[in-house]
Amino acid sequence: MRDVRMKGFAERADVEEVAAFLREQVRVLPAEEVALLECVGRVLAADERAEVDVPGFARSAMDGYALRGEETFGASAYNPIAFEVVGETLPGSPYAGEIQPGAAIRIMTGAPIPDGADAVVMAEVCSEVAGRVEVSEAVAPRKNVGAVGEDIRRDDIALRAGRRLRPQDAGLLASIGVARPACVRRPRVKLLVTGDELLPAGSRPAGVHIVDSNSVMLRALVARDGGVDLPFEILPDRPERIREALKFADADVVLVSGGSSVGAEDHAPRLVAELGRLDFHGISMRPSSPAGVGRIDGRFVFLLPGNPVSCLCAYEFFAGPTVRALGGRSRRWPHRQVRLPLARKISSAVGRTDYVRVAVEGGSVVPIATSGASILSSTVRADGVVIVSREHEGMPAGAEVEVLLYDDESVDEGSP
């Protein structure tokens, strides 16, 4: 491996090339059993086939009277038909006997339909007096009866592998008797933050020291993407310390913030190459061109430039999709997209991919002027980003562009 320190990149890879490499290399992690209350948001690792019918018994869909439907034929308000009330059935406590002709059973919603009955007349059209009920509306057999398996049938696939579980999915799994669904294991992400100038988040910047903001942002991004955020460390720019930390085996993904470039103190690229492979270093993009991607013993290592906007951008392009894909989620940008016209042109260069922070104002897209990679507040003022791909020299004012919105709700299409 050529030592690029203080020499610069001889050549840079395309964003698409790096993305394609990652798409090829990443395998979905194996499954683990997860408690029902924790499975929401997780990805189902295998089809869940129902081993039971739900409901497993015919049940009443109404409060009323269970009887033989055909015995009510002809009943009306003017011509009610009377039945003898021989008992009652409640959810969870079935009626022991069988309903004989001329008899009815008081029944509540969810209670099992007793033998001999095949329909339920709702209470509103009945009047019960002294052990007899007068029914003033006819019901066909099976009326107001929930059939066996009407919700889920035994042997049906209740939920498919790859499904990101919703609250109601977890409820459904409970209803078919599943206690611990098999979910894709969450990727374990180790964050190494390098820089002699850094103070831990929560401190006040002082003198020539700045506060490490990247770890705060990255840990939130990892959580968003379904990763498990392992205890992180702030490391000095000392190769032996970074080497030790890179060897940490208990991770699926290692994120290194800072020290990824070609400066004298940028040790991470050389160390990744030494301990494993540095597949890419230097990418044709702005910001984050000094980003890198490598692997150490099956762990994916992302070298994220320390400049906060670069760090965000490199995470979003490369690390984020990898974390999501390892966990069985979609690689796609996790942002809502809107198509809106550009208020001002965006300049770029052919051969380079740009991550342009934009505001949405009055239904059009305004590129944010202060766009240096160190200006984190540019991403705070932005409503989202426009990606200018390498084949474009830029985009003229008026062109319709896709905006990836940072927030789901903050921008309504067409309004400020």
Is 258 a binding residue for Mg ion by CB under 5 A? The answer is yes
Cα-to-chain-centroid distance, residue 82: 57
Nearer Cβ to ligand AMP (291/401):
291
CA 125, CA 62: separation in Å to the nearest integer?
12
Q: In the 3-class helix/strand/coil scheme, how is 366-391 assigned residue by residue?
A: EECCCCCCCCCHHHHHCCEEEEECCC
Nearer to ligand AMP, 187 or 269 (CB): 269
Q: What is the DSSP letter of 185?
A: P
**Min dist. Cβ of residue 305 to ligand AMP (A):** 5
Q: Which stretch binds ligand AMP (CB under 6 A): 57-65, 129-137, 225-233, 303-311?
A: 303-311
The residue behind tokens 């897209």 is: 365
Q: Is 64 in the site for Mg ion (CB under 5 A)?
A: no
- Helix, strand or coil, per DSSP, at residue 400: strand
> Which residue of 64, 112, 181, 195 would you call a contact of Mg ion, by CB under 5 A?
195
Q: Which residue is nearest to Mg ion (CB)?
A: 258
Size of the site for Mg ion (CB under 5 A): 4
User: Do residues 196 and 259 make contact, with C-beta atoms less than 8 angstroms apart?
Assistant: no
> Is the four-CA dihedral 117, 123, 125, 131 of positive or negative sign?
positive
Q: Give CA–CA dist 233/255, Å, rounded.
A: 11
Write down the least CB distance from residue 194 to Mg ion, Å: 6
According to the binding rule CB under 6 A, does residue 328 interact with ligand AMP?
A: no
Q: How far apart are CA 375 and CA 198, in angstroms?
A: 17
Stretch that binds Mg ion, among 78-86, 199-207, 228-236, 301-309 (CB under 5 A): 301-309
Distance, in Å, from the CA atom of 111 to the CA atom of 88, rounded to the nearest integer, reads 10
Q: Decide whether 138 or 234 has the Cβ nearer to ligand AMP.
A: 234
Both structure tokens of 21: 């490499």
Alpha helices in 29-166 (DSSP H): none
CA angle at residue 404 from 399 to 410, to 5 degrees?
A: 105
> How many residues form the binding site for ligand AMP (CB under 6 A)?
20
From the list 8-16, 152-160, 257-265, 351-359, the region that binds ligand AMP by CB under 6 A is: 257-265
Member of 259, 269, 294, 327 binding ligand AMP (CB under 6 A)? 259
261 is an interface residue for ligand AMP by CB under 6 A: yes
Q: Residue from 259, 290, 320, 328 that binds Mg ion (CB under 5 A)?
A: 259
Contact string 214-233 vs ligand AMP (x = CB under 6 A) = xx------------------
Q: CA torsion angle for 278, 284, 290, 294 (degrees, to 10)?
A: -20
Q: Minimum CB separation from ligand AMP for residue 217, in Å?
A: 8
Query: Mask: binding to ligand AMP, 188-207, rule CB under 6 A, as x and -?
Result: -----x-x-xx---------
Q: How far is the CB of 235 from ligand AMP (least distance, A)?
A: 11
CB nearer to ligand AMP: pick between 123 and 201: 201
Cβ closest to ligand AMP, residue 258 vs residue 328:
258
Full 3-state SS string of 201-245 = ECECCECCEEECCHHHHHHHHHHHCCCEECCCEEECCCHHHHHHH
Query: Applying CB under 6 A, does 288 fall inside the site for ligand AMP?
Result: no
Answer yes or no whether residue 254 interacts with ligand AMP by CB under 6 A: no
- Could you tell me which residues come within 8 angstroms of residue 393 by beta carbon, excluding any fewer than 6 positions away? 347, 348, 349, 350
Where does this chain bind ligand AMP (CB under 6 A)?
193, 195, 197-198, 210, 212-215, 257-261, 263, 305-308, 374
Q: Which residues bind Mg ion (CB under 5 A)?
A: 195, 258-259, 306
